[in-house]
Structure 1
Amino acid sequence: MRFRAKIVDVGCLNHFTRVANTITKLAKTCTLRFTVDKVFFILNDKVANGGVSMWCALNQGKFFDEFHMEGASAEDNEIYLELTSENFSRALKTAQNAKAVKIKLTNKQCPCLTVAVELPSLSSSSRIVTHDIPVGIIPRKLWNDFKEPSVPDFDVSIYLPVMKTMKSVVERMKNISNSIVIEANQKGEMNLKIETVLVSVTTHFKELGNPPLVSEHDSQKSTQERQPESSMAEARIDIKRLLQLLAGQQVNPAKALCNILNKRIVHFILLHEDFSLQYFIPALA
């Protein structure tokens, strides 16, 4: 099992660092999965048990100048590692002015992801700062626990408002309640609501737009079976989980979507040119 990669381009390095910082805001520990053409950051806290789930996929060719990996065998040519997100993010932060960054799977008393940062120097030779990040090797028999989360047929799919605006609204609401209700319909309308014994506050967003419903389940529905476009689907979720997502974003998405399965789950999709992030927050009972 081998892995080594190198980033030389400053723009790619800064972009990769911002992605790693975003992941750190969402997950203390995560699974790092390498395939021949992609890198994945995965958090699987079992939505069914009340935990959030995250799936972030990067096209490695858009980030790395060199990328070589060999799995345990030709049939299972992948690598799954468990690591502390902050350790990885902290190592990359030292690379802001680096000439190059090398990332390699090593064994130094324990398996490590070694990040070697080549920094410019006044002398002819460069300075190398090395970070050894302990990782756990996830065996093949457990790989199925880290498959891409299955996406149910949602009741509503809607584009999100500007995320900075949404973050500002949710931050204010956080001081009043621990939970927030997100509701939306197929007419491009979304409401953020908090309700307590003493106060009820609602923020309305209109004309957000809805992506086309393209699931097989939806295409088989007759017009009579479908809910009216103005019908609201809603879910009450932990407000801190939502704020984690909104406050942790360090790369502006090209598109941001929200899917709601009524009273069960909210699914966020942030689409970028070279990577995508999915985040599942289960509804509170």
Structure 2
Amino acid sequence: MRFRGKLVEIGCIHHFTRVIGTVSKLIKQCVLRITPANWYFILSEKLVNGGVQIWCDLPQGHFFDEYAMEGVCQEANEIYLELAPENLVKALKTAQNAKWIKIKLTKKNTPYLTVEVDLPTLSAHSRTVVHDIPVYVVPRRLWPEYEEPKLPDFDVSIVMPQLKLLRNIVDKMKNLSNYVALSANQNGEMKLMVETDMVSVSTHFRDLLNPAVNRGDDSEEPDPEVFSEARIDIRKLAQFLVGQQINYTRVICNIVHRRVVHFLLLHDDVSLQYFMPVVAS
């Protein structure tokens, strides 16, 4: 089992750092799945127990100039590592002016993801900083727990307003309640509402885009005016909005009425899925 990759282009280094920074803001511990074509950052908690699920997909060819890996065996050419993404961010932050970064899997009594950073100097001598990030190798029998989440049949799919605007609104709403009702319809409308015994506050958005919703052959088209709603933890929503460090081209919110909220964040070379559980009224 081997892995070695090298980033040279400074723009790729910065973008890679921002992506990992976003992941670190959302989760403390995750599984890094390394394949010949992609890196995946995965968190798989049970939604029914109030957990969240995250699936972040990075095509390695968009970031790495050199990339070589050898999985656990020929039939399963993949590597699964459990790590704290914050440790990887700390290593990458020392590389903002680096000539190159090498990331490799090493073993020094225990497994590490070793990050080597070649920094510029005023002399002819090179200056290399090495970070050893402890990892746990996930055994193959546990891999099925980290498969890509299956998407349910959504009742509503809507393109969200600017995240910065939503962040400001949610930041004010979280001082009023622990929960927010997020609702939308297929007519381009979305609402955020908090209610207490003393006050009810809501924000409305109109003229948003509705991506097509895939439905079964026997499913009837719902009334586009009807709202589907999900009551969620407002602090988890705020954490999700604050953690974004990438200018996504599109952020889509999918809702299964009173069951789950699914956020899909899309960039040219990155996609991030975030499943947020619904809280009972």
TM-score of Structure 1 vs Structure 2, range by shorter chain: over 0.9
Q: Does 1:270 align with 2:258?
A: no
- SS, match of residue 262 in structure 2: strand
Question: Displacement, 1:233?
Answer: 0.3
Question: 2:83 aligns to what?
Answer: 83
**Distance in structure 2 (CA, Å) of the matches to 1:2 and 1:48:** 36
**Distance in structure 2 (CA, Å) of the matches to 1:36 and 1:184:** 39
Structure 1 spans left out of the alignment, 5+ residues: none
TM-score, normalising length from structure 2?
0.98
- SS, match of residue 201 in structure 1: strand
Q: Does 1:213 align with 2:208?
A: no
Structure 2 spans left out of the alignment, 5+ residues: none
Question: Displacement, 1:129?
Answer: 0.5
**Distance in structure 2 (CA, Å) of the matches to 1:252 and 1:214:** 27
Residues 154 and 213 of structure 2 are in contact (CA less than 8 Å); yes or no, is this contact kept in structure 1? Answer: no
1:27-106 matches, cutoff 5 A: 27-106=27-106
What amino acid is aligned across from residue 98 of structure 1 in structure 2? A
**Distance in structure 1 (CA, Å) of the matches to 2:84 and 2:144:** 21
**Distance in structure 1 (CA, Å) of the matches to 2:173 and 2:153:** 29
1:94-133 matches, cutoff 5 A: 94-133=94-133
Could you list the structure 1 runs, at least 4 aligned residues long, displaced by more than 4 angstroms after superposition. Answer: none
Question: Displacement, 1:212?
Answer: 1.0
What amino acid is aligned across from residue 278 of structure 1 in structure 2? Q
**Distance in structure 1 (CA, Å) of the matches to 2:185 and 2:76:** 43
Question: 1:238 aligns to what?
Answer: 233
What amino acid is aligned across from residue 163 of structure 1 in structure 2? L
User: What does the per-residue CA deviation read over 1:30-63, in whole Å, with 9 as the maximum and x for residues that have no partner?
Assistant: 1000000000000111112210110000110001
Q: Does 1:252 align with 2:247?
A: yes
User: What does the per-residue CA deviation read over 1:65-104, in whole Å, with 9 as the maximum and x for residues that have no partner?
Assistant: 0111100111100000000111111110110011100000
**Distance in structure 2 (CA, Å) of the matches to 1:125 and 1:36:** 34
Residues 103 and 114 of structure 2 are in contact (CA less than 8 Å); yes or no, is this contact kept in structure 1? Answer: yes
Question: Displacement, 1:147?
Answer: 0.3
- SS, match of residue 250 in structure 1: coil
Q: Does 1:158 align with 2:121?
A: no
Residues 190 and 204 of structure 2 are in contact (CA less than 8 Å); yes or no, is this contact kept in structure 1? Answer: yes
- SS, match of residue 227 in structure 1: coil
Question: Displacement, 1:245?
Answer: 1.3
Question: 1:12 aligns to what?
Answer: 12
Question: Displacement, 1:28?
Answer: 0.2
What amino acid is aligned across from residue 164 of structure 1 in structure 2? K
**Distance in structure 2 (CA, Å) of the matches to 1:94 and 1:128:** 11
- SS, match of residue 169 in structure 2: helix
TM-score, normalising length from structure 1?
0.97
Number of residue-to-residue matches in the alignment: 280
1:167-178 matches, cutoff 5 A: 167-178=167-178
**Distance in structure 2 (CA, Å) of the matches to 1:64 and 1:214:** 35
What amino acid is aligned across from residue 51 of structure 2 in structure 1? G
Question: Displacement, 1:213?
Answer: 1.6
**Distance in structure 2 (CA, Å) of the matches to 1:46 and 1:100:** 39
**Distance in structure 2 (CA, Å) of the matches to 1:213 and 1:226:** 10
**Distance in structure 2 (CA, Å) of the matches to 1:232 and 1:278:** 22
